Amino acid sequence: MQHREIWNEVDEWGEWMVEFIPCKKGSDFSEELFYELTKRWNKKMDDEGFNVLMAVRLEPDSANSDYDFLWQQELWTKDRNQFWTEWKEIHESEWNEENSSIIVLDINNIIDYKAHLRGDVKFHDPLHYQQDFRFCNYKEGFGDSDLLAFEKVFNEEIDKANLEGPALSAFLQPLSDHVKSDFDLIWHNCYRDLNQKNLSSKILDTGLNEFMTTESVSHTGTRLRLMDI
């Protein structure tokens, strides 16, 4: 993969990746049945020794024809291929037979990234938060140096406005060719609540519009799993 100034060469958290699996609700879906499903899934991850570091349910804030929600999960990069090989060969058929009436995972259209964290990870509700993706392309004559200059201005504006800003911010680097891999930049932000998201987004969008075209998708996140590492 091409090296760019916006990618971190060393990650203090280790070599990990994040993927987003489109999900459709099955005919028997209910929040209660989904909760029981996540308990079974977590037990299976532990029993099989799968090091899925974190999992999150991301529900889109506006109607989305591609999925009802995204299943986000994070793994050590070295473990990811082995996880999916074992899952497909040993577990997938039985799991789908037992659970496809609740949710259907579209594992043929997984969106995968290396997340390059920006700045500090701040405290936010460990179970619920607001999240967005900005899919960006540079306008003619602009590039990564303009982005990094704006990132500094954005953080200064957040401080001036006495906002908390993003609790977590990352530039996402695609790991494969998929429907969201052809943008110049995917800027991913998580916020403690909707108010912080809306106020910060006004500053972010005003600045980005000077040198980028963007499209945004927002979600409400609910944590399903978090391993101690």
pLDDT digits (tens, 9 = 90+) for 178-194: 989 999 999 999 999 99
Last residue of a domain, one of 97, 112, 127: 112
Are both 137 and 176 inside the same structural domain? yes
Q: What is the per-residue pLDDT for 9?
A: 61
Are both 132 and 214 inside the same structural domain? yes
> Do residues 219 and 70 lie in contact, with contact meaning Cβ atoms separated by under 8 Å?
yes
Are both 93 and 137 inside the same structural domain? no
Q: What is the per-residue pLDDT for 163?
A: 93
41-68 pLDDT, tens digit each: 999 999 999 999 999 999 999 988 899 9
Angle at 181 between CA 179 and CA 182, to 5 degrees: 100
Residue 229 has pLDDT above 60, yes or no: no
Classify residue 186: in a domain, yes or no: yes
Are both 216 and 141 inside the same structural domain? yes
Are both 219 and 125 inside the same structural domain? yes
Angle at 207 between CA 6 and CA 220, to 5 degrees: 75
Classify residue 10: in a domain, yes or no: no
Reported as type and span, the H/E element at residue 56 is strand 52-60
CA–CA distance, 101 with 34 (Å, rounded to integer): 10
Domain range for 182 is 114-226
* Cα 67–chain centre separation: 15
Q: What is the per-residue pLDDT for 7?
A: 84
Angle at 51 between CA 84 and CA 81, to 5 degrees: 25
Last residue of a domain, one of 61, 94, 112: 112
Q: Count the domains in the chain.
A: 2
Query: Which tops the pLDDT comparison, 14 or 148?
Result: 148
CA–CA distance, 198 with 70 (Å, rounded to integer): 21
Are both 106 and 120 inside the same structural domain? no
Are both 107 and 140 inside the same structural domain? no
Residue 33 has pLDDT above 90, yes or no: yes
CA–CA distance, 212 with 154 (Å, rounded to integer): 15
Average pLDDT of span 97-114: 95
Rg (CA), the chain: 18
Last residue of a domain, one of 112, 140, 165: 112
171-228 pLDDT, tens digit each: 999 999 998 999 999 999 999 999 999 999 999 999 999 999 999 999 999 999 988 6
Q: What is the CATH number of the domain that holds 88?
A: 3.30.70
At 199, give phi and psi (nearest 5°). Answer: -70, -45
Classify residue 175: in a domain, yes or no: yes
Are both 181 and 131 inside the same structural domain? yes
Are both 207 and 128 inside the same structural domain? yes
